[in-house]
Amino acid sequence: MSDILLSLKGLTKAYPGVVANRDVTFDIKKGEVHALLGENGAGKSTLVKSIYGLVRPDSGTMTLLDAPYHPGEPRAARAAGVAMVFQHFSLFDALNVAENIALGMENPPPMRDLAARITKVSDDYGLPLDPSRIVGDLSAGERQRVEIIRCLLQDPKLLIMDEPTSVLTPQEVDILFLTLRKLRDEGTAILYISHKLEEIRSLCEHATILRMGRVVGTCDPRETSARTMAEMMVGSVLHVPSRPAAPVGEVVLELAGLSAPPPRQFGTALKDISLSVRNGEVLGIGGVAGNGQDELLLALSGEMRTASGMVKLRGTPIGHLMPNARRTLGLLTAPEERMGHAAAPDMSLTENAILTGAIREDLTHRGFLRWARARSFAEAVIKTFDVRTPGPGAAARSLSGGNLQKFVIGREIMQRPDVLVVNQPTWGVDASAAAAIRQALLDLAAKGAAVIVVSQDLDELMEISDRFAALNGGRLSAPRRAQGLTVDEIGLMLGGAHDMEVAHVAA
Amino acid sequence: MIRLEKRPQPSQVWIVATPLLAVIATMIAGGLLFAALGKDPVAAIRTIFWDPLFSENAWFYRPQLLIKAAPLILIAIGLSLGFRAGIWNIGAEGQYIMGAICGAGMGLAFYPMESVLIFPLMILAGLLGGLLWAMIPALLRVRFGTNEILVSLMLVYVAEQILASMALGLLKNPEGMGFPGSRNLSQYPSAANLELIKGTGMHWGVVAAFIAVIFAYVVMSRHILGFNIRLAGQSPRAAAFSGVSPGRLVIICLGVSGALAGLAGMFEVAGPSGRISIDFNVGYGFTAIIVAFLGRLHPVGILLAGLLMALTYVGGGMAQGSLGLPAAAIQLFQGMLLFFLLAVDVLTNYRIRPARRRVA
């Protein structure tokens, strides 16, 4: 018997317009913690979904313990000994821990036996958890424990963890790592997905790096620097933009000590964010998801109000203004979530044009809608940004993600903003559409607007930004010239190392 | 077996067809119900749906149609605005009662003075009575985040107690020989809401209902307020991004529905009912919820649904009289209509497909 647990050979999976995995081949050994590295959109989640039976690969084979392995659904994967902890928990707030775990089991034992097993497993692995507690009262870390224990009860051979530390405090990360090391010592293999390179260096023995759906390298993270791994993730060198040096325009938008409590549970508080953006400039803001990006957008769009002086447009305090008042003054935004936030899924594109365009495009007259004007505005956006749709009467939900994104970004750009703030402008968009969107943002800046691009895609930010800053735990680093910025420096700005110090010591 | 597949766009055909399908399904299930009660199902259905319009005694019943439909349509139009925005005013019955009390109180305060100004003042009082009663759940929700469904519903029972107290106390007819209930407003010319065209049942409340239908149609299809209402109902986050203030929308929607329900109560007490009595309210405020959904929350649909529901009231009354059907059977029949409508509604957004065999 070999020591190889799961072997992937030539896995390929294509979606319309994008190849998510191309000829992916690697092995996971028994009892190893194997890291899967890659940027957003590199194909990590498609790959683990294939392993977990949620996605059926177009071609390629998987071998689990020398036997062919082709799970048609997660149930088959679980039966074969593969368990997964998702980034987003699937728990019912109103039920207690044991009930939630029973819901995910095929043949749940009587509740009393289950509670005893939960208590035993949670003691064995140092994950204290009371089976009778209501999930709604648990912290994010404790919820994750519920998910982990749910997996451990199946006695898995392979445990897949998707970004498990993104919702955890450093102390919780330490405890999680102790548990994972104990599991590894008992022979369970762990496939560990994360952006946080220092974490991977302290935990994993082997790493496979994906880029654009392909395996572009493997390494031993313990002996490889974070910088080397980052360069493997993003390509040998970060693509440096060939843009002219930052122009010196007037300061248009200024944030002065912007602080705000999290607008919802598990949100991030914004802490003392200060920046200024000038006419004709593109400011890129990077960071790992959940470090305050959404909250910053809410504070800029006007969905979240702050003290008036915290946000200033051309010197005028606007922190207290509603979205439409800010639009009137020339500050436009495009949030990350297209369906249901930037656009109303069941409404037509014409109606979605009114959604943000009513003021600047003069689509109302004394409160009455000017449908003809709205339709021609929607048509103009569709034409200029090459949105593939039957016409402005189509419901937003009938468009593909990339096309809707083009419409949403185009809708704001066509309104000639003085300041445009976009979050993840090319997320889920195919390469050519992404390039078109980036070009449109650059063109907008060239015409004298100030543009803020919030993104997790470092390539994108380096390509279009004049200056770069990073959000980390709701704080913004001091912006620096993007040109000439090295991977190491970017890594430091993203704060990958400093909040992982505890884990370092443990390793 | 079968599976549901979400349509890329809501089906325009089914939006119109589902209410008709629901009416047919209700007739079938209602027929079975009546048969189980030992009545001839065909005769019962005919008595309810056909006789009020076309039998030889129909001249007597036809005016009743408009009289019953007017409050239903007036209330349902108001409710539909909120329902579109995801603001659930379930307490229209209470607002209807408060409108009636305020309208009647205003009229009776001037008794026996005669003036053309009295009736308009009563309209204003009725409107304000319903509006203010609806402001209680509205402000509680905006200020403290309470659930407007529960608060508005509970206030119905408060309003019923106030109604009883008024009928027995403050508004009791001093010449009523001790019986509960107010003076009859329909016999007080300055305050009476009389038939405008003889034999049609047309009174000021019917006029108000038609105006409300047109007003709602224009607001929903042409005005930014209607757009914001639809947006807030479909995608609350997109509405916030668009700049809609949720609190303002709650106050507007509950205010309008309360005002219209209050108006309906006032027209009822000054006309068809005539006086404030303990059993003044007959459930129009609740039936209007069915009317609003049966009419797809669309003003024209509500107009038609209100007339249909009025038909079941009138026809149901006839069936009680001539066939001896219990009153509860008629209420059950109306409830079935909403039940079937909500059930077939799934066809608007989903299509039914035979499930594919899973590849082993």
Helices and strands in chain A, H and E counts: 17, 23
Residues of chain B with Cβ-Cβ distance to A327 below 8 Å are 243
Residue B134 domain boundaries: 38-325
Residue B10 forms contact with A (CB below 8 Å): yes
Task: Please check whether residue B350 lies inside any domain of the structure.
Answer: no
* Residue B262: predicted pLDDT: 97
DSSP B12-65: HHHHHHHHHHHHHHHHHHHHHHHHHTTS-HHHHHHHHHTHHHHSTTHHHHHHHH
pLDDT bracket for residue A305 (50, 70, 90): very high
Residues of chain B with Cβ-Cβ distance to A344 below 8 Å are 231, 234-235, 238-239
Q: Least CB-CB distance to A345: which of B224, B235, B360?
A: B235
CA distance B337 to chain A (A): 26
Residue A372 forms contact with B (CB below 8 Å): no
Q: For the ranges A79-93, A151-165, A421-435, B167-181, which has the lowest average pLDDT?
A: A421-435
Residues of chain A with Cβ-Cβ distance to B227 below 8 Å are 351, 354, 369
Q: Is the pLDDT of residue A401 over 80?
A: no
Spatial contact of B33 and B351, defined as CB atoms under 8 Å apart: no
Q: Is B225 in Cβ contact with A355 (below 8 Å)?
A: no
Residues of chain A with Cβ-Cβ distance to B240 below 8 Å are 303, 323
Task: Please check whether residue B112 lies inside any domain of the structure.
Answer: yes
Residue B12 forms contact with A (CB below 8 Å): no
Residues of chain A with Cβ-Cβ distance to B358 below 8 Å are 72
Rounded Cα distance, A193 and B260, in Å: 58
* Residue A496: predicted pLDDT: 46
pLDDT bracket for residue B360 (50, 70, 90): very low
Q: Is the pLDDT of residue A501 over 60?
A: no
pLDDT bracket for residue A238 (50, 70, 90): very low
The structure tokens 């009390």 sit at: B101
Q: Is the pLDDT of residue A189 over 90?
A: yes
pLDDT bracket for residue B18 (50, 70, 90): confident
Query: What are the beta bridge partners of residue B4?
Result: B352
- Among A73, A348, A369, A373, which would you mutate to test the B interface (most chain B Cβ atoms within 10 Å of its Cβ)? A369
Q: Which tens digit of pLDDT belongs to each residue from A244-295?
A: 555 668 899 999 999 999 887 667 889 999 999 999 999 999 876 667 888 9
Task: Please check whether residue B334 lies inside any domain of the structure.
Answer: no
Rounded Cα distance, B187 and B194, in Å: 10
CA distance B7 to chain A (A): 9
Cis amide prior to A425 (ω within 30 degrees)? no
- The structural domain count of chain B equals 1
Task: Please check whether residue B70 lies inside any domain of the structure.
Answer: yes
pLDDT bracket for residue A505 (50, 70, 90): very low
Task: Please check whether residue B223 lies inside any domain of the structure.
Answer: yes
* Cα separations in angstroms, A288 against A18, A167, A194, A197, A455: 23, 11, 10, 12, 9
Rounded Cα distance, B157 and B150, in Å: 11
Nearest-CA residue of chain B relative to A353? B242
Pairing of strands A251-260, A368-369: unpaired
CA distance B222 to chain A (A): 5
Please state, rounded to an integer, the average pLDDT across all residues of chain B: 90
DSSP A24-46: EEEEEETT-EEEEE--TTSSHHH
Helix (H) / strand (E) containing B307: helix B299-323
Task: Please check whether residue B277 lies inside any domain of the structure.
Answer: yes
Task: Please check whether residue B8 lies inside any domain of the structure.
Answer: no
Rounded Cα distance, B115 and B105, in Å: 16
- Among A320, A321, A326, A355, which would you mutate to test the B interface (most chain B Cβ atoms within 10 Å of its Cβ)? A355
The average pLDDT across B108-118 equals: 91
Residues of chain B with Cβ-Cβ distance to A332 below 8 Å are none
* Distance of alpha carbon B287 from the chain centroid: 5
* Residue A169: predicted pLDDT: 58
Residues of chain A with Cβ-Cβ distance to B242 below 8 Å are 323-324, 355-356, 358
Assign B194 to helix, strand or coil: coil
What CATH code is carried by the domain that includes residue B311?
A: 1.10.3470
* Residue A239: predicted pLDDT: 45
Rounded Cα distance, A49 and A52, in Å: 5
Spatial contact of A314 and A379, defined as CB atoms under 8 Å apart: no
Residues of chain B with Cβ-Cβ distance to A322 below 8 Å are 243, 245
* Residue B352: predicted pLDDT: 78
Residue A357 forms contact with B (CB below 8 Å): no
Residues of chain B with Cβ-Cβ distance to A356 below 8 Å are 241-242
Residue A364 forms contact with B (CB below 8 Å): yes
Residues of chain A with Cβ-Cβ distance to B297 below 8 Å are none
Residues of chain A with pLDDT > 90, as a percent, come to: 37
Rounded Cα distance, A288 and A454, in Å: 11
**A-B interface: how many C-beta pairs under 8 angstroms?**
77
Q: Which residue type is seen at B47? A: T
Q: For the ranges A206-215, A486-495, B35-44, B263-272, which has the lowest average pLDDT?
A: A486-495
Nearest-CA residue of chain A relative to B232? A344
Residues in chain A: 507
* Residue A221: predicted pLDDT: 87
Query: What are the beta bridge partners of residue A12?
Result: A59
Domains in chain A, ordered, with CATH? 4-238 (3.40.50.300), 252-485 (3.40.50.300)
Q: Which tens digit of pLDDT belongs to each residue from A252-265?
A: 999 999 999 988 76
Residue A12 forms contact with B (CB below 8 Å): no
Task: Please check whether residue B213 lies inside any domain of the structure.
Answer: yes
Identify the CA nearest to B167 among candidates B183, B185, B153, B155. B183
Q: Least CB-CB distance to A346: which of B10, B223, B227?
A: B10
Q: Is the pLDDT of residue A397 over 90?
A: no
Higher pLDDT among residues B211 and B187, named by residue: B211
pLDDT bracket for residue A213 (50, 70, 90): confident
Q: Is B238 in Cβ contact with A342 (below 8 Å)?
A: yes
Residue A324 forms contact with B (CB below 8 Å): yes
For B117, residues 6+ apart whose C-beta sits below 8 A from its C-beta are none
The three-point CA angle A308-A313-A319 to 5° equals 20
Q: Is B225 in Cβ contact with A367 (below 8 Å)?
A: yes
Q: For the ranges A147-156, A160-169, A212-221, which has the lowest average pLDDT?
A: A160-169
Predicted TM-score (pTM) of the model is 0.74
Residues of chain B with pLDDT > 70, as a percent, come to: 98
Highest mean pLDDT, choosing among A344-353, A381-390, A391-400: A344-353
Rounded Cα distance, A283 and A450, in Å: 8
Q: Least CB-CB distance to A341: which of B8, B241, B360?
A: B241
* Cα separations in angstroms, A112 against A108, A132, A145, A368, B56: 11, 10, 19, 63, 71
Give Rg (Cα) of chain B: 22
Higher pLDDT among residues B20 and A334, named by residue: A334
